[in-house]
Amino acid sequence: MQKKEIDWANLGFGYIVTDQRFVANYKDGAWDAGHLTADPNVTMNECAGVLQYAQTVFEGMKAYTTVNGQIVTFRPDLNAKRMVDSAKRLEMPAFPEERFLEAVTETVRANAAYVPPYGSGASLYIRPYMFGINPVIGVKPADEYQFRVFTTPVGPYFKGGVKPLTIRVSDFDRAAPHGTGHIKAGLNYAMSLHAIVSAHAAGYDENLYLDSATRTKVEETGGANFIFVTKDHKVVTPHSDTILPSITRRSLMYVAEHYLGLEVEERDVYLDEVKDFAECGLCGTAAVISPVGKIVDHGEEICFPSGMEKMGEITKKLYDTLTGIQMGQIEAPKGWIHVIE
């Protein structure tokens, strides 16, 4: 297969239309068989549920080429399951997990020419999502839904080298107790836009959100979970019902314990203790792990000993091991790598 003429190494993170996308429709209580289409546009009624009451959930994952030349995705079964959980919380019909995997596979296969070659650092970003599509004006769940998967090639995250982030403790909250912080829904992002735009305007890369009940515990940023490393190399991640269960974070904690032999802890992490950690990273599909150099709490700076130039020692080991597993250079735990072709 002939790859597209794309300057993979210099791609950013933006939407580039690809050849095919998957569409399935839910009507009269059932999902249809679905199909691929070349049409990137969605047509819907002006009163569609998603447009009026934001009934929509999504996933984010990547396809990439391994050292053996295979096109693979990483733990897509967990994305399938998480999307079912997200859909249920918003009173949407689940898209069956098996069918999710088939739809992702079919869409990536149809766009294989856009999957960047091994070693480019780039990948094919995959966006499964679903939304209420029939007219809804009285507040209630839609009756009809559309599930779609599109792909877009994205560049290496650490283009131009690793630059540890500076983040601020936000005065805004991301998620309420018993709210929707644990699901992957556009609504959580819509309300974070003001916080991120104002953080950028003030010179920060990201917001650290605290638990909104007590404002004493670390939760996450707008789109990534935290991992901290103690001075004696214990890997700690916040436990909370209101953070989004990142698949990258869960995988990194497994790698820390089973590949690196480190002690791991998922527990309450208080803002007051953050100054005692040696390293801090943000984890998500986009970067795997992005080092944090500094956290600013209303003028008070917490500077991690790992500094503003490079990844901390343990952060780097975690990054190298997980990316090695993803790229087929290090043996993966069973079921982690899903071969597409």
Ligand X SMILES: *Cc1c(COP(=O)(O)O)cnc(C)c1O
Work out how close the CB of 274 gets to ligand X at its nearest, in angstroms, rounded to a whole number: 18
Q: Which listed residue (224, 236, 280, 340) binds ligand X by CB under 6 A?
A: 224
* Shortest distance, position 222 Cβ to ligand X, whole Å: 6
287 binds ligand X (CB under 6 A): no
Residue 62 in contact with ligand X, rule: CB under 6 A = no
What's the angle, vertex CA 280, arms to CA 277 and CA 282, rounded to 5?
A: 155
DSSP state string for 30-58: EE---EEES-------TTBHHHHH--EEE
Distance between CA atoms of residues 188 and 128, nearest Å: 17
Quote the distance between the C-alpha of residue 286 and its chain's center: 6
The letter for the amino acid at 220 is: E
Instruction: Closer to ligand X by CB, 136 or 255: give it.
Output: 255
Length of the chain: 341
Question: Does 238 interact with ligand X (rule: CB under 6 A)?
Answer: no
Write down the least CB distance from residue 174 to ligand X, Å. 8
4 burial class (0-12, 13-18, 19+ CB within 10 angstroms)? Answer: middle
* CA–centroid distance for 337 within its chain: 17
> In this complex, which beta carbon is closest to ligand X, that of residue 20 or of residue 237?
237
User: Among residues 78, 76, 55, 74, which one has the least CA distance to residue 66?
Assistant: 74
| Residues that contact ligand X, how many (by CB under 6 A) | 14
CB 14 within 8 A of CB 127: no
For the bound state, the minimum distance from the C-beta of residue 220 to ligand X, rounded and expressed in Å, comes to 5
In the annotation, is 184 catalytic? yes
Query: Tokens 């597209």 belong to which residue?
Result: 4
Identify the DSSP state of 267. Answer: E
Backbone angles phi, psi at 58, to 5 degrees: -150, 175
Is 242 in contact with 203 (CB distance < 8 Å)? no
Interaction between residue 179 and ligand X (CB under 6 A): no
Out of 128, 223, 281, 291, name the contact with ligand X by CB under 6 A: 223
| Residue burial 73-84, b: 16+ Cβ < 10 Å; e: rest | bbbbbbbbbbbb
247 binds ligand X (CB under 6 A): yes
Q: Which of 184, 217, 294, 317 is catalytic?
A: 184
The verdict on 244 binding ligand X (CB under 6 A) reads yes
Nearest distance in Å: CB 259, ligand X: 18
**Does position 284 bind ligand X by CB under 6 A?**
yes
Under rule CB under 6 A, residue 220 binds ligand X: yes
How many Å apart are CA 240 and CA 322, to the nearest integer? 24
For ligand X, give the closer residue by CB, 247 or 255: 247
By three-state DSSP, how is residue 321 classified?
Answer: helix
Is residue 242 a contact residue for ligand X (CB under 6 A)?
no
Among 184, 217, 317, 338, binds ligand X (CB under 6 A): 184
Nearest CB to ligand X, comparing residues 23 and 247: 247
Closer of 168 and 184 to ligand X (Cβ): 184
Residue from the set 246, 315, 321, 326 that interacts with ligand X by CB under 6 A: 246
Interface positions with ligand X (CB under 6 A):
60, 184, 220, 223-225, 244, 246-249, 283-285
List the catalytic residues: 184
